[in-house]
């Protein structure tokens, strides 16, 4: 949770900036399109808090509760670093409108043109809560995406990212995380298939490409590839987070996605202390991380393919 939020707060400075048209940042300085203070974060962290607090409060997966919390963030500024919802993606907003109208928590569009990064950016509470049940973690990852992002690439990106985080939670080395065949990662099975672009990333496209082919856009596949590129090419949290943010475009989300995996891999002490000290609502975020790990040890409620709770 701290890694996600630090990446988000770092990258907001360059959000919407076109690659090659800005001076790269070297620290967490705030500013950006929303004029934030250093350490304040955006929608990525707000939605992750909503998801994490729902999992803890409900002792597992409850799609209705998750969507109710997302609506509270959107309408009331719940879980915001400023008290207001100042940054929300079009795909998320449309899904929340559909939920308000229909009451169906699985309101994410399945249109491939809506394959944005809004479900991947908030994902880390899922693998933390279901770390002992990898297959169920994959089911929950897909269901958590379907609430706002139902496109196949979004579902598969969330599965793959969950598997990488689970591997890091198991104590795998960077080489073990990134180089083993993707079907051997936690939670995957031999018969599983991924959308073509997501499978190409799982097979190592992030190692073959460099900027400008590595892009930090709002497209989920670009975000996933960019976060993996930064994790693979860096040797500590600070270096990788800056690499992700300095891609520009959807910089806060690219860095937040990187921060999920890197935060687990390097641990809290591996995140620069000065960044953690500046982070808005640090104690809330750290406490949620601890609560999710505690939840994982106490048989959290699972989720069926339709999003309804079921006992593990």
Residue 32 lies in a domain: no
Question: What's the half-sphere exposure (Cβ side, CA atoms, 13 Å) at 129?
Answer: 32
**For the chain, what is the domain count?**
1
292, 52 Cβ separation under 8 angstroms: yes
**Tokens, residue 33:** 């399109």
Residue 148 lies in a domain: yes
Q: Which of 40, 61, 65 is nearest to 50 (CA)?
A: 65
CATH number at residue 144: 1.10.4080.10
> Residue 239 and residue 224: Cα distance in Å, rounded?
18
Q: pTM score, two decimals?
A: 0.97
> Residue 307 and residue 229: Cα distance in Å, rounded?
32
> Residue 291 and residue 284: Cα distance in Å, rounded?
10
Residue 247 lies in a domain: yes
Question: What's the half-sphere exposure (Cβ side, CA atoms, 13 Å) at 120?
Answer: 39
- 133 is an annotated ligand-binding site residue: no
**Tokens, residue 141:** 């990852």
Q: Can you give the pLDDT at residue 312?
A: 45
- 44 is an annotated ligand-binding site residue: yes
- 43 is an annotated ligand-binding site residue: yes
Residue 307 lies in a domain: no
Alpha helices in 147-208 (DSSP H): 152-169, 174-179, 196-202, 205-208
> Residue 77 and residue 181: Cα distance in Å, rounded?
42
Q: Which residues contact 215 (CB under 8 A, 6 or more apart)?
A: 19, 222, 225, 226, 247, 249
Q: Can you give the pLDDT at residue 306?
A: 53
Residue 304 lies in a domain: no
Q: Which residues span the domain enclosing 189? A: 2-17+38-298
Per-residue pLDDT of the chain (312 residues; tens, 9 = 90+): 999 999 999 999 999 999 999 999 999 999 999 999 999 999 999 999 999 999 999 999 999 999 999 999 999 999 999 999 999 999 999 999 999 999 999 999 999 999 999 999 999 999 999 999 999 999 999 999 999 999 999 999 999 999 999 999 999 999 999 999 999 999 999 999 999 999 999 999 999 999 999 999 999 999 999 999 999 999 999 999 999 999 999 999 999 999 999 999 999 999 999 999 999 999 999 999 999 999 999 989 888 545 555 544
Give me the residues paired with residue 309 across strands.
303
The dihedrals phi and psi of 291, each to the nearest 5 degrees, come to -65, -35
Residue 1: DSSP 8-state: -
Q: Can you give the pLDDT at residue 311?
A: 46
Residue 277 lies in a domain: yes
Residue 102 lies in a domain: yes
Residue 134 lies in a domain: yes
> Residue 244 and residue 259: Cα distance in Å, rounded?
9
């Amino acid at each position: 949770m701290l890694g996600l939020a630090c990446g988000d707060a770092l990258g907001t400075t360059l959000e919407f900036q076109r690659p090659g048209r800005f001076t790269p940042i070297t620290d967490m300085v705030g500013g950006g399109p929303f004029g934030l203070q250093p350490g304040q974060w955006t929608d990525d962290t707000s939605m992750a808090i909503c998801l994490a607090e729902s999992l803890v409060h409900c002792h597992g997966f409850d799609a209705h509760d998750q969507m109710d919390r997302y609506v509270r963030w959107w309408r009331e500024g719940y879980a915001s670093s400023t008290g207001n919802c100042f940054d929300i993606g079009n795909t998320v907003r449309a899904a929340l409108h559909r939920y308000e109208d229909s009451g169906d928590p699985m309101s994410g569009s399945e249109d491939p043109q809506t394959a944005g990064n809004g479900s991947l950016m908030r994902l880390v509470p899922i693998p933390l809560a279901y770390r002992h049940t990898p297959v169920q973690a994959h089911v929950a990852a897909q269901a958590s995406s379907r609430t706002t992002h139902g496109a196949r690439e979004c579902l598969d990106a969330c599965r793959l990212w969950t598997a990488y985080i689970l591997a890091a939670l198991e104590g795998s080395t960077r080489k073990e995380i990134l180089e083993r065949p993707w079907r051997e990662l936690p939670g995957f099975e031999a018969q599983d298939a991924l959308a073509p672009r997501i499978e190409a990333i799982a097979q190592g496209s992030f190692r073959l490409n460099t900027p400008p082919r590595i892009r930090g856009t709002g497209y989920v596949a670009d975000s996933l590839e960019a976060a993996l590129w930064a994790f693979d090419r860096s040797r500590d949290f600070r270096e990788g987070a800056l690499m992700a943010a300095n891609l520009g475009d959807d910089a806060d989300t690219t860095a937040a996605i990187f921060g999920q995996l890197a935060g687990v891999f390097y641990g809290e002490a591996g995140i620069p202390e000065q960044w953690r000290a500046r982070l808005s609502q640090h104690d809330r975020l750290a406490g949620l991380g601890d609560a999710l790990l505690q939840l994982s040890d106490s048989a959290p409620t699972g989720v069926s393919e339709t999003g309804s709770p079921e006992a593990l």
